[in-house]
């Protein structure tokens, strides 16, 4: 007889594991099927915990400390001896952080009595799920009252630069280099290109970033993108816009990159090349032909605003569906889907999903950019204030960047907040909360911000929308 569950979740990444935990909290009998084996061990946590958000931030932190030790300590009167980086130790620390977090999810599953089925899940017709165990055990069919599909995404491959896990790698390979490459090419000046490009540049690589578009960070507010390009270039990232890679060849452990920049054919040789030109939904072997699930033209699972698919009782969440491919978006969709199943009226507000790029300084935004607000027909007013004159920023040497607000000129309603600067990823949450509460700029102007904090720049930026900044 097949096993019966209230909820079967396929995929144990941020989307799937949060859905499973919320389901268990609500009293459901839950199984979560996850097939990932990471460094020889079955592992929960998906892309984010194993090869995404967390390991990349661990390396960003290590490389930041290294660079800061070399360049920043002298000004504080601190002298050091020879500073060196041991990449093996750095990567081992990263692996330890990953292991701690993925084991933590496994412990949460035990605590919440969620069955972790290690293997591959496939949705059959009639909300049945086929489970093929990793250990070669017997294939089983599970009966589910509700199913959540959360199989995530994988990197996009391009034929001109096939990943060989040696000279040419994707983001996963770039987390595990064993030495610092003297020269590093990066295809794609997106989030991964800037974050992982920064990691290896800080450790000593000469990094060239090839970006096919002629615009840098087109999704960001123009003023922020311009400042980011200026700062990152000054740090040594060689960002080449309008540069299309046309071919690569491998010889003697090096990779030759042929590219065309603004109509001119050029060649450059690198020790390593990272391909990071976006990610695509991953639904291989997920759906039986008669599962009844509709896909979009782009191969995403077609869902409504509440993540319900074309089959009643089957939801799809996270990178597998429309919207930004971000862990926090994936997690909230997991919670929403389960609460919907439970009869609650949960919603995700897609207008207030924060974007953060964890470079130094960080780049973060929420809501509309000035350009997007104008395109949507708003008459806009903006205010911008720099960290350069903020007491706390000066005290800690974090003076780069600014906060910018975009508001509707007629109603004073806040439309967007954009931050480039230290802790931008945390500071921007103030804008997210303000947007959720439909704040006006005046609301922000009337609040008292603690002194001395970086957040005082938020206050000054709000005041500057109406020409009232005090320290301008
Ligand atoms: P995933 O995390 O991809 O999880 C899906 C899981 O399903 C996988 O583990 C897979 O093995 C499993 N699976 C697939 N098919 C099956 C099947 N048929 N049966 C069983 N299991 C299956 N986002 C952020 O918000 N912040 C960041 O800082 C950030 N940094 C990133 C850095 C890098 C280098 C990368 C690559 C991504 C980063 N992301 C970041 C994006 C983030 O990782 C994803 O948005 C997030 O992991 C999506 O969660 P998910 O659960 O939808 O999918
Ligand atoms: P991306 O979409 O952020 O950037 C890809 C870049 O590559 C774009 O600028 C695109 O124009 C460019 N590109 C595409 N094809 C190209 C080609 N053939 N030649 C040169 N350039 C080309 O994708 P990325 O960086 O791979 O990251 C994937 C996703 O992972 C992100 O979109 C994001 O959702 C997630 N992520 C989020 C992070 C965060 O939140 N901090 C960190 C890392 C990843």
Mean pLDDT, consecutive 10-residue segments, the chain of 472 residues? 93 98 98 98 98 98 97 95 97 98 98 98 97 97 98 98 98 98 98 98 98 98 98 98 98 98 96 98 96 94 98 98 98 98 97 98 98 98 98 97 98 98 98 98 98 98 97 92
Q: Which residues, including other chains, have CB under 8 Å from residue 448's CB and lie 6 or more apart? A: none
Q: Helix or strand or coil: residue 126?
A: helix
The answer to whether residues 376 and 370 touch, using CB atoms and an 8 Å cutoff, is no
Distance between CA atoms of residues 186 and 335, nearest Å: 36
Q: Is the CB of 431 under 6 A from ligand 1?
A: no
Question: Given ligand 1 and candidates 22, 39, 43, 47, which is best to mutate, with the most ligand atoms within 8 Å of its CB?
Answer: 47
The verdict on pTM exceeding 0.95 is yes
pLDDT at 1: 66
Residues with C-beta less than 6 Å from any ligand 2 atom: 158, 187-193, 195, 210-213, 244-245, 276-279, 324-326, 356-358
- The closest alpha carbon to 341, from 377, 358, 316, belongs to 316
Task: Kindly give the distance from the C-alpha atom of residue 331 to the centroid of ligand 1, in angstroms, as a whole number.
Answer: 11
Q: Is the CB of 153 under 6 A from ligand 1?
A: yes
CB-neighbour burial class of residue 435 (10 A; exposed 0-12, middle 13-18, buried 19+): buried
Cβ atoms < 10 Å from Cβ of 358: 21
Distance between CA atoms of residues 350 and 346, nearest Å: 13
**Joined tokens for residue 205:** 């690589």
Q: Which ligand is nearest to the CA of 211?
A: 2
Q: Please, what sign has the CA dihedral across residues 454, 460, 461, 462?
A: positive
pLDDT at 274: 98
Q: Is the CB of 330 under 6 A from ligand 1?
A: yes
**Joined tokens for residue 44:** 């929960």
């Amino acid at each position: 007889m097949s096993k019966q569950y209230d909820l079967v979740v396929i995929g144990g990444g941020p989307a799937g594991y949060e859905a499973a935990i919320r389901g268990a909290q609500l009293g459901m009998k839950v199984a979560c099927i996850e097939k990932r084996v990471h460094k020889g061990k079955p592992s929960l946590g998906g892309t984010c915990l194993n090869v995404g958000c967390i390991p990349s931030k661990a390396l960003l932190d290590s490389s930041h400390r290294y660079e800061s030790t070399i360049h920043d300590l002298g000004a504080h009167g601190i002298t050091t001896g020879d500073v060196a980086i041991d990449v093996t130790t750095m990567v081992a620390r990263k692996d330890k952080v990953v292991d701690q977090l993925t084991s933590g999810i496994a412990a949460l599953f035990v605590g919440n009595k969620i069955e972790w089925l290690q293997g591959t899940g496939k949705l059959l017709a009639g909300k049945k799920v086929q489970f093929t165990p990793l250990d070669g055990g017997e294939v089983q069919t599970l009966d589910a009252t509700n199913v959540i599909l959360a199989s995530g995404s994988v990197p996009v491959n391009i034929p001109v630069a096939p990943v060989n896990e040696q000279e040419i790698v994707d983001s996963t390979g770039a987390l595990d280099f064993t030495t610092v490459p003297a020269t590093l090419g990066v295809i794609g000046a997106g989030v991964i290109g800037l974050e992982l490009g920064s990691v290896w540049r800080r450790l000593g690589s000469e990094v060239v970033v090839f970006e096919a578009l002629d615009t840098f960070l087109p999704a960001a507010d123009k003023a922020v993108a311009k400042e980011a390009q200026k700062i990152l270039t000054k740090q040594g990232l060689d960002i080449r816009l309008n540069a299309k890679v046309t071919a690569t060849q491998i010889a003697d452990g090096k990779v030759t990159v042929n590219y065309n920049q603004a109509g001119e054919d050029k060649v450059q040789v690198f020790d390593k090349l990272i391909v990071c030109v976006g990610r695509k939904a991953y639904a291989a072997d997920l759906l039986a032909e008669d599962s009844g699930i509709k896909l979009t033209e782009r191969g995403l699972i077609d869902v409504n605003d509440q993540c319900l698919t074309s089959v009643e009782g089957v939801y799809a969440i996270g990178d597998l569906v429309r919207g930004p491919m971000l862990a926090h978006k994936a997690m909230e969709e997991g919670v929403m889907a389960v609460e919907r199943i439970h009869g609650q009226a949960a919603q995700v507000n897609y207008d207030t999903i924060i974007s953060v790029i964890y470079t130094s300084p960080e780049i973060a935004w929420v809501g509309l950019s000035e350009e997007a607000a104008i395109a949507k027909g708003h008459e806009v007013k903006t205010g911008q204030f720099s960290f350069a004159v903020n007491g706390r920023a000066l005290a800690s040497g974090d003076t780069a960047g600014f906060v910018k607000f975009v508001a509707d000129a007629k109603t004073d309603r806040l439309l967007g907040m954009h931050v480039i600067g230290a802790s931008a990823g945390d500071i921007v949450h103030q804008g997210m909360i303000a947007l959720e509460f439909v704040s006006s700029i005046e609301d922000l102007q009337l609040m008292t911000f603690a002194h001395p904090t970086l957040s005082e720049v938020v206050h000054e930026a709000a005041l500057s929308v109406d020409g009232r900044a005090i320290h301008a």
